Amino acid sequence: METLVKDKSQKQQSSSIDVLLQEGRKFPPSPEFKKQANVQDVSVYAKADQDPETFWAEWAARLEWMKPWKKVLDWNPPHAKWFVGGKINASVNCVDRHVHAGEGHVNRRNKAAIVWEGEPGDSRTLTYWDLYREVNCFANALKQLDVRKGDRVAIYLPMTPEAIIACLACARIGAVHSVVFGGFSAEALRDRIHDAQAKLVITADYGWRRGKQILLKNAVDDAIKDCPSVKHVVIVKRDGSSATTCHVKEGRDHWWHRLMQDAELVCEPAEMDAEDMLYILYTSGTTGKPKGIVHTTGGYLTGVYATTQWVFDLKEEDVFWCTADIGWVTGHSYVVYGPLASGATVFIYEGAPDWPEKDRFWKLIEKYGVTIFYTAPTAIRAFMKWGDEWPARANLSTLRLLGSVGEPINPEAWVWYQHHIGKGKCPVVDTWWQTETGSIMITPLPGITTTKPGSATKAFPGISAEVLDEMGHRIDVGGGYVAITKPWPAMLRTIYGDDERYVTQYWSKWKNNVYFPGDGVKRDEEGDFWFLGRVDDVMNVAGHRIGTMEVESALVDHHAVAEAAVVSRRHDVKGEAIVAFVTLREHAKKSSHLVQDLRDHVVKKIGALARPDEILFSADLPKTRSGKIMRRLLRDIAEGKALGDMTTLADPTVIEHLKQKYEEIEGS
Ligand code: WTA
C-alpha cells in the first residue's frame, strides 16, 4: 500500500509539475474590485495566524447563539471540540434571524432566499419568510412522524427547494441528516441508510435529468426492503399534479404536501450543543466501504459562514449560484449553510447544463441576474469543448465573481473561464477543500490575492497548511503532501461508527495532531499551493470522488468475474476516467455483451457516476510475488505510457501481454 501511494504521487507529481512549472501568468485584483471587497488588507492573515482561536471566535460571535460558549477550543489530538458549552441551532441562523425585526440584523423577511428553476423551466421563489414557514411546518411534520433529536434522516431528492427545506427542518429539531446524491443507485442508497440506521427517508416521486424522469421513489422502495430501521418515507410530488406517479405504501409512505397542509406554523428550535451532530455525509475512501463523515453544529456553521463572506466577497444584493448538487459537501456548505447563514439569495437549478441546449447555464445567469457563480473544472472543460459561441450569446454582465472547486483546474480551463465567462473582469477563486474539511481551506481572497491559473494560492486566514514529505519534513518550495497542522472549526469530528478509521485514515501519517488530506501538492517560491490530485486509491471522475476498491467490489460481485483491478486515466473533460482490468471465471465467455453487462452491474451497485469507460479482459493480472495487484503498472498501460519498474513482478509476461492487447484495442 505504502509503495503504491508513493508511486502514484511521484508519477503524477512529476508530470503535473512539468505543466505547472511553465505557468507564469498572474492576475492581481483590479482596483475597482479591491475598492469594494470585503477584505482589502493583507494584515488579516498575520492577525489570524497569531491567534487563530480569537479569529474564529470573532466569526462565531456573528452567529446567533442560544447560550454562549465557555471555551473556544478543546484540542485533544486528534479530537477537537469547538465553542465548548455553546448552544446553537443551525436553522435559526439560516432562517429565523433573517426574519426577526431589528436586533442588530438586517431584516430580510421579504428578500428572496431561494430562487429555483426546474429542468423543464418551472420556477419558484421563496422569500426568507416563506422559507421560515416551510422549515417550521416540515419540522413539525417530522415530529409527527416520530423523528426525535439525534435520529438520522436520509434525504434522496432532486435539486428542488424541498432539499434545502428538508435539511433545515432536520437541523431545527436536532435530527441528523444524511443526504445521498440522487445519482447513486438503490444499492448504494441502501448501504448508506443502513450504516446511518436512518429512521426516515425523504424522497420525490421523480426528478428531471436531460429530459428524463429519474424515478427516485422506486429506488427508495428497492433500497429499504433490507432496511428495517426505516419507519417512514416522505415523498415530494415533483410536478404538483394529482396523478399517481409511484407506489405509496399505506402507513409507511406520506406525501410531503399532505403533511404540510396539516402541520402547524411554528416549531420551537431545539437547543443544540455546539458539538451535537448536524449531519453525516458519505464519501469514498481507499476501501470498498464509503465513510460517513460527521460534522457538528457550531464550528461547522462558523467555518462555512466565514468562508462564504470572505472567499465569495458576499454582499447583500448578490445572487449566489453554486452549481453543486445537495448530495455533495459543496451543496451542504455553499448552497445551504454558508449562504443562508449569511442571508444571501441562493439560486438553484435542477437539471443538466446542456438541456435543452448547451447554453442553459448562461441563460439562467442572464434570466436571474446571477452575480456569483461557483462550479467545477469538469463543467468548465465541457463548456470549452462545446464552443465559445454558447456563452457569447448570453448577457453575463451581472457576474462579478467566479469560483472553481472539486478537482485541480488546468490553467487553460482557468483562463478560458476568466475570459469567456468572467469577461476578464471577474476574479476567479480556485478553492481547495474536502468533505472532511467542511469549509474552504486553501483559496484566494478576491480583493487581495494575485491569482495564478491552476493555483489555489493560500490557506484561508486561521487555517494552517503546509507541504510535508513522506517523513513529515516541511518543504518550503517543491512537491509533497498537503498537511493541515492546526485544528479548524468545520473539521470532521469522526467517521460515523468508526472512530478508529478516523484516527488511522487522517491522523496517522505523521504526528497525531497533523491532518493528512491525501492530496499531492506543490508549493512555489511565493508560498502558493498548486494541487496535483489524490495520492491514494481515490479517483476523481467529473469532480466526484470514487474509490478504486468500490468499483472493484462492484465488479467482482458479478457472477462472471474472478478478479478486477480498477485504475483511472486522464480524461480531457472528466479529469479522470475509469478503466477496469477484469479476469473472468472459467465458465464465462468474453463478449461485448458481457462488457455492457459489467458496466450495467457497476451502475446498479454504485450509480452511473462510477460506470467504467473501458473494461479489458485479461487471463491474469500483474502481481507481485506476494500476490498484490500492481495498479501502478495498469495505470501506465491505461495512460499509454512506458511501463515503470517491473522488478517485483511475479510474471512480467502478464503485463507485456496486457499492454499489447490494450494498444491493439486503442488502435482499432
Ligand atoms: C479534490 C469537494 C484541486 C481534492 C469540495 C480533494 C481539489 C477532493 C480542489 C475532495 C481544488 C477539491 N483543486 N483539487 N480546488 N477541490 N479537490 O470530498 O483531491 O468531494 O481531496 O470535496 O477533491 O473531494 P470532496
pLDDT band at 11 (very low <50, low <70, confident <90, very high): very low
Separation of CA 490 and ligand 1 centre (Å) = 16
Are residues 184 and 64 part of one domain? yes
Pocket of ligand 1 (CB under 6 A): 283, 328-330, 405-408, 430-435, 456, 517-519, 531, 534, 540, 545
Confidence band for 3, pLDDT divided at 50, 70 and 90: very low
Is residue 3 assigned to a domain?
no
Hey, whose CA ends up nearest to atom 22 of ligand 1? 434
- Which pLDDT score is estimated for 287? 84
In the block, cell 453543486 appears at 324
Same domain, 96 and 131: yes
CA distances for 205 relative to 120, 147, 212, 216, 289, angstroms: 16, 22, 13, 6, 28
- CATH number of the domain at 658, please: 3.30.300.30
Task: Please name the residue whose Cα sits nearest to atom 14 of ligand 1.
Answer: 407
Between the CA of 532 and the centroid of ligand 1 the distance, in Å, is: 10
pLDDT band at 8 (very low <50, low <70, confident <90, very high): very low
Given a cut of 90, whether residue 117 has pLDDT beyond it is: yes
For residue range 526-561, list pLDDT tens digits in order: 999 999 999 998 999 999 999 999 999 999 999 999
Alpha-helix residue ranges (DSSP H) falling in 522-649: 548-556, 592-605, 631-639
Task: Say if 360 falls within a structural domain.
Answer: yes
User: What is the distance of C-alpha 527 from the center of its chain?
Assistant: 26
In the block, which residue shows the cell 441528523?
176
Distance CA 69, CA 169 (A): 24
Nearest alpha carbon to residue 626 among 63, 88, 1: 1
Say whether both 497 and 579 belong to one domain.
no
Residue nearest atom 24 of ligand 1, based on CA coordinates: 434
Mutate to test the pocket of ligand 1, among 449, 516, 545 (most ligand atoms within 8 A of CB): 545
pLDDT of 7 over the 80 cut: no
Q: Is the same domain home to 273 and 386?
A: yes
Q: Are residues 483 and 555 in the same domain?
A: no
The larger pLDDT score, comparing residue 104 to residue 574, is at 574
pLDDT score of 6 more than 80: no
Residue 330 CA, closest ligand 1 atom number: 5
pLDDT digits (tens, 9 = 90+) for 367-410: 999 999 999 999 999 999 999 999 999 999 999 999 999 999 99
Range of the domain at 123: 31-521
Please tell me whether the overall predicted TM-score, pTM, comes out greater than 0.85 for this model.
yes
C-alpha of residue 540 to centroid of ligand 1, in Å: 8
Q: Grid coordinates 455546539 are at which residue?
A: 274
Check whether residue 161 and residue 88 sit in a common domain. Answer: yes
Instruction: Kindly report, residue by residue over 62-113, the tens digit of the pLDDT.
Output: 999 999 999 999 999 999 999 999 999 999 999 999 998 665 678 999 999 9
How many domains are there within the chain? 2
CA distance 618 to 496: 38
One domain, residues 549 and 484: no
- Supply the angle between the helices 186-196 and 216-224 in degrees, to the nearest 10: 50
Q: Using the mean position of ligand 1's atoms as its centre, give its distance from the Cα of residue 432 in Å.
A: 6
State whether residue 419 is helix, strand or coil. helix
Quick one: cell of 529?
499551493
Give me the half-sphere count of Cα atoms (radius 13 Å) on the Cβ side of residue 21.
9
For residues 183-189, average pLDDT: 97
CB of 391 closer than 8 Å to CB of 342? no
Q: Which of 242-251, 488-497, 590-599 has the lowest mean pLDDT?
A: 242-251
What whole-number percentage of the chain has pLDDT above 90? 86
CB burial of 582-603 (b: ≥16 within 10 Å; e: otherwise) equals bbbeeebeeeeebbeebbebbb
CA-CA distances (angstroms) from residue 611 to 328, 537, 550, 576, 595?
19, 17, 12, 12, 11
Same-domain check for residues 253 and 171:
yes
Q: Tell me how far the alpha carbon of residue 533 lies from the centroid of ligand 1, in angstroms.
A: 8
CA distance 81 to 356: 48
Which of the four pLDDT bands, split at 50, 70 and 90, describes residue 650?
confident
pLDDT tens figures, 23-51: 889 999 999 999 999 999 999 999 999 99
Task: Count other C-beta atoms under 10 Å from residue 378's C-beta.
Answer: 22
Nearest atom of ligand 1 to the alpha carbon of 409: 13
Q: Is the peptide bond before 356 cis (omega within 30 degrees of 0)?
A: yes
Q: Which of 494, 521, 548 is the last residue of a domain?
A: 521
**Domain presence at residue 486:** yes
Protein residue with least CA distance to atom 4, ligand 1: 407
Same domain flag for 431 and 556: no
> Which residue CA neighbors atom 13 of ligand 1 most closely?
408
Q: Quick check: is 108 in a domain? A: yes
End-to-end Cα distance, the chain: 35
Q: Are residues 107 and 232 in the same domain?
A: yes
Q: Is residue 10 part of a domain?
A: no
How far is ligand 1, taken at its centre, from the CA of residue 486, in Å? 19
CA dist 399 → 354, 370, 563 (Å): 20, 6, 50
Residue 286 and residue 340 in one domain? yes
| pLDDT tops 70 at residue 595 | yes
Q: Ligand 1 centre and the CA of 273: distance in Å?
A: 29
Q: Tell which one of 334, 409, 432 to mutate to probe ligand 1, the residue whose CB is within 8 A of the most ligand atoms.
A: 432
Looking at the domain assignment, is residue 13 inside a domain?
no
Same-domain status, 272 and 350:
yes
- Of 492, 521, 550, which residue is a domain's last? 521
Q: Are 88 and 274 in contact (CB under 8 A)?
A: yes
- CATH code for position 313: 3.40.50.12780
Ligand 1, atom 6, residue with closest C-alpha: 434
Asked if the structure places residue 26 within a domain, the reply is no
- Residue 659 is predicted with a pLDDT of 87
> pLDDT, tens digit, for every residue of 267-323?
999 999 999 999 999 999 888 889 999 999 999 999 999 999 999 999 999 999 999
Joined together, the cell numbers standing for residue 655 give 503485463
How far is ligand 1, taken at its centre, from the CA of residue 316, in Å?
A: 28
Asked, for residue 527, whether it belongs to a domain, the answer is no
Residue nearest to atom 15 of ligand 1 (CA): 432
Ligand 1 atom nearest to CA at 532: 3
